[in-house]
Structure 1
Amino acid sequence: MKIQTLAFVILVLAVVMAMCRDPAGRIGVIVFITGIGEVFLGLAAVMALFQTIGSIGLARGLLEHAEALAATTLVLALGTVGMTFWLFVGAWCIQLSVP
């Protein structure tokens, strides 16, 4: 890690910690982190979904089609559960931070 990167990380952490001193800033930081997490989880779920849909098209037999459909269902279910969990964790953190 270069010294400039370390200085930038320290600067960003200082700004975030200064924002967290105020309740409105604390909520803003929580909403931002929750939103970034939702974007990453959604992107990962969509990328996995494209792979499983592609495997439906590449399937040759009935068993491979069933396996691809089961994988697609699993990806949809896990993506939904993960994103919902992350959203509720963010809402819970906001409830804890509001006096």
Structure 2
Amino acid sequence: MPRTPSTRYPLLLVHGLFGFERIGPLHYFNGIKEALHDSGAHVYTASVSAAHNNETRGEQLLAHIHDLRQQTGAKRVNLIGHSQGALTARYAAAVDP
């Protein structure tokens, strides 16, 4: 991967159904977060309910996005969702673009 990220905003990874950031030695995004970080991107992982509907998870994600924007000073956040995480991200983006 190139050393310069192609985005100026933080990346926020959103897990799918029954997802997690880490359980013991197991990482949900197995090497993706590290590879993006190693290329120079600022990467974070959202923590939303493992098993709820997209609206509930989306509202949780919106709160996480708000906190991340406040923490980093970024005006926007790039969302990368896996499985139901993509639907959760779409909900958040539609409600508060």
TM-score, normalising length: structure 1: 0.29
- More helix by percentage: 1
Larger Rg, first or second structure (1 or 2): 1
- More strand by percentage: 2
